[in-house]
């Protein structure tokens, strides 16, 4: 029996080995290399001759904490996560409840329509929304003109640029979370709602006392994956505003990209990446602890 189990384990490792090897080569090795580079002054000159690389240890991290532009990018990213995250989760939950309702017909069509933006290329979506936000001929300003609202430079104003990106991001991403919420709603026993009906509970009372508590684990999970994704904000401001105006939409990932691939400060860029990883790690741990407390 022990020999048979040992053979099964050996067979499992044999079939897992190619995938594990690929993960090690293409994921773990680059991460380790990037972590080492973050302690160096690796730049464009080091690409030609590795002997030009010097270990400067924690200097990149110390410089980062004294970098005003990094703090601007971090502030913008936190603003985006704290604003877009809850809105995206709320819109996803609302859409899921509507599509899970017995009163809605053609649910499959609505789910397809709401999910289509998720699978659409982000760059293409951002370009389309640039035209929607255009102050001269954009559809949004045209619609608002019927309400007597003057033309707004949505992407050219520091006050409106980030909210504009948030609106586009919520529209683009809510369909994915909506599918997860629908799955969670379908796992809630129907007899709980039937018992609540017999007790005379209205729709709001049922939502507050049954739906929300039963969806708590799903909501925490959706919150975690949404926060992780939104902390990696890059393509939206890169395509729509290039981080402007006045760095009002500059994100941490975009700043990391600029330092690494525009100015070739690869060591400095790597240190930004690991600071962002640490922030995401702390936020994820906090959300997981919250999930454990709700169970």
Give per-residue pLDDT as tens, 121-148: 998 999 999 999 999 889 999 999 999 9
Please state the rounded mean pLDDT for residues 262-285: 94
SS3 percent helix, strand, coil of the chain, rounded to 5, is 75, 0, 25
Binned at pLDDT 50, 70 and 90, residue 10 comes out as confident
User: pTM score, two decimals?
Assistant: 0.91
Phi and psi at residue 241, in whole multiples of 5°? -130, -10
The counts of H helices and E strands in the chain are 16, 0
Percentage of the chain beyond pLDDT 70 is 97
Res 106 pLDDT > 90: no
Give per-residue pLDDT as tens, 182-192: 999 999 998 89
Of 116-120, 179-183, 200-204, the range with the lowest mean pLDDT is 200-204
Q: What is the pLDDT of residue 52?
A: 80
Please state the rounded mean pLDDT for residues 170-175: 95
Beta-carbon neighbour count of residue 239 at 10 Å?
17
Give per-residue pLDDT as tens, 13-58: 888 899 999 999 999 999 999 999 999 999 877 777 777 889 999 9
pLDDT top residue among 104 and 96: 96
Res 1 pLDDT > 60: no
Res 180 pLDDT > 60: yes
Binned at pLDDT 50, 70 and 90, residue 199 comes out as confident
Res 9 pLDDT > 60: yes
| Sheet strands (E) in the chain | none
Q: What is the pLDDT of residue 194?
A: 86
């Amino acid at each position: 029996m022990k020999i048979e189990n040992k053979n099964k384990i050996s067979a499992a490792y044999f079939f897992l080995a190619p995938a594990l090897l690929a993960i090690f080569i293409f994921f773990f090795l680059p991460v380790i290399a990037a972590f080492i580079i973050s302690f160096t002054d690796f730049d464009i000159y080091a690409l030609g001759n590795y002997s030009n690389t010097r270990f400067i240890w924690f200097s990149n991290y110390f410089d980062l904490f004294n970098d005003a532009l990094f703090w601007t990018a971090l502030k913008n990213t936190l603003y985006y996560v704290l604003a877009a995250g809850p809105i995206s989760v709320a819109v996803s939950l609302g859409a899921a409840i509507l599509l899970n309702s017995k009163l809605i017909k053609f649910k499959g069509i609505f789910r397809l329509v709401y999910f289509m933006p998720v699978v659409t290329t982000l760059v293409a979506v951002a370009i389309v929304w640039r035209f929607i936000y255009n102050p001269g001929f954009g559809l949004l300003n045209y619609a608002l003109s019927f309400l007597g609202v003057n033309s707004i430079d949505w992407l050219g104003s520091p006050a409106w640029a980030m909210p504009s990106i948030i609106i586009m991001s919520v529209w683009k991403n809510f369909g994915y979370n909506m599918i997860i919420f629908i799955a969670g709603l379908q796992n809630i026993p129907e007899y709980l709602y039937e018992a609540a009906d017999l007790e005379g509970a209205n729709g709001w009372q049922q939502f507050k006392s049954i739906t929300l508590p039963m969806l708590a684990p799903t909501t925490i999970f959706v919150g975690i994956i949404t926060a992780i994704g939104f902390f990696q904000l890059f393509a939206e401001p890169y395509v729509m505003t290039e981080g402007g105006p006045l760095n009002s939409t500059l994100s941490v990932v975009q700043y990391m990209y600029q330092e690494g691939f525009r100015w070739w400060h690869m060591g400095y860029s790597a240190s930004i990446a690991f600071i962002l990883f640490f922030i995401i790690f702390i936020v994820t741990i906090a959300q997981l602890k919250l999930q454990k407390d709700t169970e």
